[in-house]
């Protein structure tokens, strides 16, 4: 978990309120939703009370606990929903998820019932030694390099170096770390589907 940043207090407040409201609407206790989400009740309580900002992995678990996709959980209630299977948008700072090693900008957040999720990701870590704990989540993942160069580190294979226009598909449960190569932030299209 990461501590809340001042500039994102409103967005985190809306997310915390949404999780709390949805839980109450579904007549779930914190313990029940925590069990469905495979997270600790105290973690859920801290998220609902705006004391902690959930990591990407925790967001995946909470969305599964509610039986929705991540973009549905992140979509602001203040936005207009599209009635069909069309959604036009672009990355912006409105619902950005900021972590130590990257920023994730949700795409097509209003489009409900998708079988996959899309984000534009900016990787802002330049040394694997500084990355910290590697990512692992129960998804099938795809990264397409939009700009910059990416080093894809993983436990099973040699480090993969990707440049603009190249992509990698991988099992998200395999521990991995994405690092920008050189001194320019690498920007990628990130698509994943829950297993």
Q: What is the pLDDT of residue 9?
A: 56
Domain ranges of the chain: 6-67, 97-194
The domains spanning 6-67 and 97-194 adopt the same CATH topology: no
DSSP string, the chain: -BPPPGGGHHHHHHHHHHHHHHHHHTT--HHHHHHHHTS-HHHHHHHHTTSSBPPHHHHHHHHHHHTS-HHHHHS-TTSPPPSSS-------SSS-EE-SSEEEEEESTT--S-SSEEEEEEE----GGGT-SPB--SEEEEEEEEES-EEEEESSS--EEE-TT-EEEEETTS-EEEEE-TTS-EEEEEEEEE-
Q: What is the pLDDT of residue 96?
A: 84
Q: What is the pLDDT of residue 88?
A: 62
CATH architecture type of domain 97-194: Sandwich (2.60)
Each residue's pLDDT, cut to its tens digit, for the chain (195 residues) gives 444 445 455 667 888 889 998 998 889 899 999 999 999 999 999 999 888 888 888 989 999 999 888 888 887 665 444 445 565 666 555 678 889 999 998 887 776 777 888 999 999 999 999 999 999 999 999 999 999 999 999 998 999 999 999 999 999 999 999 999 988 999 999 999 987
Top CATH class of 6-67 equals mainly alpha
Q: What is the pLDDT of residue 143?
A: 97
């Amino acid at each position: 978990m990461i501590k809340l940043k001042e500039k994102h207090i409103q967005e985190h407040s809306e997310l915390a309120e949404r999780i709390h409201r949805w839980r109450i609407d579904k007549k779930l206790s914190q313990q029940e939703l925590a069990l469905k989400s495979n997270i600790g009740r105290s973690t859920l309580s801290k998220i609902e009370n705006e004391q902690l900002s959930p990591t990407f992995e925790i967001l995946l678990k909470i969305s599964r606990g509610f039986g929705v996709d991540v973009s549905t959980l992140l979509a602001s209630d203040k936005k207009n929903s599209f009635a069909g299977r069309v959604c036009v948008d672009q990355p912006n700072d409105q619902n950005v998820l900021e972590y130590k090693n990257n920023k994730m900008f949700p795409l097509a957040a209003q489009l409900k019932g998708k079988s996959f999720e899309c984000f534009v990701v900016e990787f802002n870590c330049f040394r694997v030694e500084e990355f910290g704990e590697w990512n692992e989540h129960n998804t099938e993942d795809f990264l397409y390099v939009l700009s910059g160069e990416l080093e894809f580190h993983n436990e099973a294979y040699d480090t993969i170096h990707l440049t603009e226009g190249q992509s990698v598909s991988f099992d998200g449960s395999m521990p991995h770390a994405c690092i920008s190569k050189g001194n320019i932030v690498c920007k990628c299209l990130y698509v994943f589907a829950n297993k």
